[in-house]
Amino acid sequence: MIIKYSIKSTSNMSVQSIYHYNVLEKIGDGAFGEVFKGQHQYTQSMVAIKRENKNNNTKLLKNESIIYQHLKNIRGIPTLRWFGQNDTHYYLTIDLLGYSLQQVVLAHGKLPMNHVIQLMIQMLRIIQSVHNKGFIHRDLKPAHFLFNANNNEHNLYLVDFGLCKYCAIHLHKETSFVGSINYASIRAHHRLELSRKDDLESL
């Protein structure tokens, strides 16, 4: 079954460039950075460009770029195209994807049960592949599952691996909360080290 959704476009911004990419428009904001739609100057391929201010001292994009390299060629994980920096920002580019599951639900309301079942199976398979590589995402939520960019498939992709880390064998207390409050596991709210179980609880 083909699942198709349409959502109003976001506002435009002035065209800029970074590395070999033209920045076309802003498509998202996050707690630690911004996301732009971009196009390669030579191949014309479309990408998503993530930007993080160096003053944040979080270095989430640097961690994310490393994770993408470990998870390359996994179905449901976008391809890392480039990671770099200038004097003020870190930049990361991946294949351009479509609307997030969060956007779809906000625009269309409650989804049909057969769609929910199909999407859940895909999400579980992606998370299983991430776990099989020894990593936990630690920030699963509807905004981090994106549909295929051309909107003619129901394939989902998992993004935003800035908080992802290698799964610890010996769990211990964390010094701070990790994740998104609305979707975090009980252990996350207790500020304890997270495991594969917590990813599934968030899902």
Q: List, by residue number, the catalytic residues.
A: 139
Is residue 143 within 8 Å of residue 98, measured between CB atoms?
no
CA 55, 100, 120, 74 torsion-angle sign:
negative
Residue 78's nearest CA partner among 161, 196, 166 is 161
Q: Rounded distance, CA 66 to CA 165, Å?
A: 10
Q: Which two tokens stand for residue 19?
A: 């590395």
Long-range CB pairs of 72-75, under 8 A, 24+ apart, other chains included? 74/126, 74/129, 74/130, 74/133, 75/125, 75/126, 75/129
